[in-house]
Chain A
Amino acid sequence: MSIALVGLPNCGKTSLFNALTGSRQKVANYPGVTVERKEGWIRSEGAPLRVLDLPGTYSLDSRTPDEEITREVILGRFAGEARPEVLVAVLDATNLERNLALVLELKALQVPMVIALNMMDLASRRGLELDQRKLEAELGIRVFPTVAVRSQGLDPLIQAARSLREPRLGTQNWKPSTGSEVRARFNEVDRILRVCVTQASRPSERTRSLDRVVLHPVWGIVVLGVTLALMFQAIFSWASVPADWIELGVAAFGKWVGTLFSAGPLRSLIVDGMIAGVGAVLVFLPQILILFAFIYALEDSGYLARAAFLMDRIMSKVGLQGRALIPLLSSYACAIPGIMATRTIASPRDRLATILVTPLTTCSARLPVYTLLVGAFIPEQKVWGWLGLQGLVLLGLYVMGTVAPLTAAWALRRTVLRGPKPMLLMELPTYKRPSLKGLALGLLERTQLFLKRAGTIILALSVVIWFLSTYPQTSDGSVSIESSYAAQIGKTIEPVLRPLGFDWRVGMALVPGFAAREVMVSALGTVYAVEASDEGGVARLGEKLASSWSLATALSLIVWYVFAPQCISTLAVVRRETNSWRWTGFLLLYLTVLAYLASWVTYQGLSRIGWGY
């Protein structure tokens, strides 16, 4: 038997889902779209009960892909999804004035339904006095008070849902409601509330007083700035501690595995190919999890919508929505969670614009490359006596990585993605404490997804790169990088790269860099025969590069890294989220052209003034 949870956004539906199913849940995507499908099982007494957590919606007239799924599943029209036998309408008891309208709409479908009157504790505290019997009589639906975050009131709700299974009446004849039907529903809500509610619940005092600061024209910006600064601090500095552990762990593991095999191709494949390759990506796990935890907490607490409200004006100047702020910020860690965070943007066109510009943000995988090249080529001198020049250049790169996506958005909205100005109509939910259970489940899920990716795509790519740079071996069986397949690829593409100041060595390091940007550092190490993973290895590699490259080449390569779509995982995610090869191809093309032009200008310009040797 199956039930589905339906309700407005922020009604506590997901808390109820988590409370009902615990960890017995499965999160996936609906086929063909990027809407999350959450399914779980209840194993209390009786037959197992399948629970589907449908995306939150204000009504059945869909405005977003999420809302459309909710309607189609309820109507039993969604291919591959059995129609739920009983609906559980989840209502925010503190806001019946709006939540009941959805119940009336669902009731018209004549599907078996029970009501979870959720957040009942909060509602009572805010003074709600409600005659539950009268409400049941008015609606003709059984009502159960619940407090999902504390798992209260769940058993009677589920028992009632189980007993409701009955032959259902037709629901196929659903039509979008007209404006006057929507108005009539709200009038009916007001009538029912007059009958059943003796004392309405007051608005949340806490939310009001918090908002006086958080949405204040001046203090609001200060709060936003501090929040973002904290988030960056967490990503860049706190994350480095567990990242170092992972790095040490991978190195130790590689060493230990190395002792199990005798020297030879197999050991090389496992240690240098698989373990080193996957390890290079695993170090990003702490960053991604910390970022996810931040975003989860901001979203769940209700702050994220407020940040979007504060930033809406600026974002709309370049043709994006306030909600695009979070994807862009997330991309400072990694474009992949950034692109996934665009799911909260309702309009497909706005969402696409955001997806297409996020890869320009300075992600953390660029940092190792920047660090290497800036350290090697920018002299360590002070500007105005106290500012380090290297730091300034790095800051400049971050500024470029911030201006570039905004400029690109502005340009895209005026060309290929021209359209009406994105509209803004967004609820600012009541503040609440983020649920730790939800956070834990979310982190677990992210980790699983990440490890799955590292164990499949990245593992496979690592093996390919290892193969390309190790074979063919010379006649005496030794490995010569100069004659490897990777070098041959480098030499083949050299003519195209020469105007940018890159020779075949850079070319062959760029190729594995496509798998993951940071792999570029170890690839350069291989090319210049420096063990970059050793202690001090990066510094020695820097010296080597400084003696063999011109400043123009180095800066050209840095600029290439600012723009180039050097990350196959990002492209894979874009493909999945846009569900379009065309837009993925467009992204690859426009970023590559942009990177090529920018590097060309850099190299040619600097050579002209004599910095190209």
Chain B
Amino acid sequence: MSLLTLADLRPLERARILEVGTPSRVSSAETEDLIRALLEMGVVEGSEVQILHVAPWSQDPIAIEVRGALIALRRQEASLVRVERVQS
């Protein structure tokens, strides 16, 4: 099983979301809230995603495009989103 996450993608690399959540880790209430928030903003399984921009200095946060919207989040949060690369 691929363990590639959204945080590992290079800018403009196309990917599809496989899972939003923390299957392996113990999840806290905060992670649960975060997962819910990601889902509600359209970061859901099956949607295509790509990193369009990275912030200056530390390359964090990142701006991703998903379901036609541009969303800013930190890499730490992005690591909750498991993805697979797709060929463009």
* Interface residue ranges, A against B (CB under 8 Å): 58-59, 61, 63, 94-95, 97-98, 101, 179, 182-183, 186-187, 190, 201, 203, 207-208, 211, 215, 217-218, 220-221, 305, 308-310, 312-314, 322, 420, 423-430
Contact = CB atoms under 8 A, between A and B. Distances in A.
Contacts of A220: 56
A78 to B, nearest CB: 21
B28 to A, nearest CB: 9
Interface in B41-84: 41-42, 44-47, 52-58, 60-61, 63, 65, 67-74, 77
A423 B56 contact: no
Contacts of A203: 65, 68
Nearest to B32: A179
Q: Is the interface of A mostly helix, strand, loop or mixed?
A: helix
A61 B61 contact: no
Given A63-B37, A186-B42, A211-B52, A423 B77 contact: yes
B21 to A, nearest CB: 7
Contact of A217 (B30, B55, B63, B67): B55
Contact of B30 (A59, A207, A420, A426): A420
B69 A427 contact: yes
A403 to B, nearest CB: 19
A309 B57 contact: no
B37 A183 contact: no
Q: Is the interface of B mostly helix, strand, loop or mixed?
A: mixed
B73 A425 contact: yes
A430 B20 CA distance: 25
A98 B37 contact: no
A41 to B, nearest CB: 32
B20 to A, nearest CB: 8
Contacts of A95: 67-69
Contacts of A429: 70
A312 B61 CA distance: 7
A98 B33 contact: no
B22 to A, nearest CB: 12
Given A182-B39, A426-B72, A310 B63 contact: no
Interface residues of B, number: 37
Nearest to A220: B56
B70 to A, nearest CB: 4
Of A94, A186, A207, A211, the most chain B CB neighbours within 10 A belong to A186
Contacts of A314: 57
A94 B71 CA distance: 16
16 contacts: A95-B68, A97-B67, A97-B68, A98-B41, A101-B42, A179-B20, A183-B44, A183-B45, A190-B46, A201-B68, A207-B70, A211-B63, A217-B57, A220-B56, A425-B71, A427-B71
A420 B33 CA distance: 13
B23 to A, nearest CB: 13
B1 to A, nearest CB: 20
B10 interface: no
A425 to B, nearest CB: 5
A61 B41 contact: no
A426 B68 contact: no
B15 interface: no
Contact of B69 (A98, A183, A186, A221): A98
Contacts of A211: 52-53, 63, 70
Contacts of B37: 63, 425
Contacts of B46: 187, 190
B42 A97 contact: yes
Contact of B57 (A94, A201, A313, A322): A313
Given A59-B40, A215-B63, A309-B63, A424 B73 contact: yes
Contacts of A305: 72
B66 to A, nearest CB: 9
Contacts of A427: 41, 69-72
B56 A221 contact: yes
A61 B40 contact: yes
B35 interface: yes
Of A420, A424, A430, the most chain B CB neighbours within 10 A belong to A424
B38 interface: yes
B9 interface: no
The 9 A-B residue pairs whose C-beta atoms are closest, nearest first, are A217-B56, A97-B67, A215-B53, A428-B70, A98-B42, A182-B39, A186-B44, A59-B40, A58-B40
Contacts of A215: 52-53, 55, 63
B34 A425 contact: yes
A250 B36 CA distance: 56
Nearest to A218: B56
Nearest to B71: A427
A322 B68 CA distance: 23
A95 B72 CA distance: 17
B2 to A, nearest CB: 20
A423 B61 CA distance: 11
Contacts of B68: 94-95, 97-98, 201, 203
B56 A182 contact: no
Of B33, B54, B56, the most chain A CB neighbours within 10 A belong to B56
Nearest to B34: A423
A322 B39 CA distance: 22
Given A94-B68, A182-B36, A211-B70, A428 B44 contact: no
A179 B74 contact: no
Contact of A309 (B30, B34, B61): B61
Contacts of B74: 312, 423-424
A425 B38 contact: yes
Contact of B36 (A94, A179, A201, A322): A179
A103 to B, nearest CB: 14
